[in-house]
Amino acid sequence: MVVLSMAFISLLLAGSRTYIFSFFLIIFFNVLKDKITRILIVIASSGLLVDFFMSEIYKDFSSSNGSMFVKNEILSKYIEWKTQATYPDYFGLLLGGEYGIQFDSDLGYIIGAWGIIGLICVLGFGGK
């Protein structure tokens, strides 16, 4: 009990809500030794968490002031500008070279600076 108290105090002093929440989950699951109870709690909490995250992610993509909505708009306007101009710049879109646009996302910067071929290279060779 002394070790648990010291661990809890150190987590409080660290100020990480994630670690404090994880600490309480570990204590909770150690108190409940029954496997069926654990499985039911995990299933119920997983369903609630998935619902919460999906509603927040959907809101971020669909709301006009959501971060992902704005990032997608900037990227789609850039691609439209490259392909719908009087003289379309497919070469620049494929190989990149645009550094003067504030994309507000890593994917936008990769497509703008390295092009679609650069994006394919990052996705193809990045995991090795």
Total domains in the fold of the chain: 2
Helix H, strand E, coil C: the string for the chain is CHHHHHHHHHHHHHCCHHHHHHHHHHHHHHHCCCHHHHHHHHHHHHHHHHHHHHHHHHHHHHCCCCHHHHHHHHHHHHHHHHHHCCCCCHHHHHHCCCCCCCCCCHHHHHHHHHHHHHHHHHHHHCCC
Q: What is the pLDDT of residue 4?
A: 80
75 and 48 together in one domain? no
Domain of residue 55: give its range: 2-62
Predicted TM-score (pTM) of this structure: 0.47
Which stretches of the chain drop beneath a pLDDT of 50?
Answer: none
- The pLDDT value recorded for residue 81 is 80
Please tell me the predicted confidence (pLDDT) of residue 5: 83
Whether residue 100 contacts residue 81, with contact meaning beta carbons closer than 8 Å, is answered with no
Tokens of 40: 């039911």
Count of Cβ atoms closer than 10 Å to residue 68 Cβ: 15
- Which of 47, 62, 77 corresponds to the end of one domain? 62
pLDDT of residue 126: 58
* Chosen domain end from 27, 46, 62: 62
Same domain, 83 and 37: no
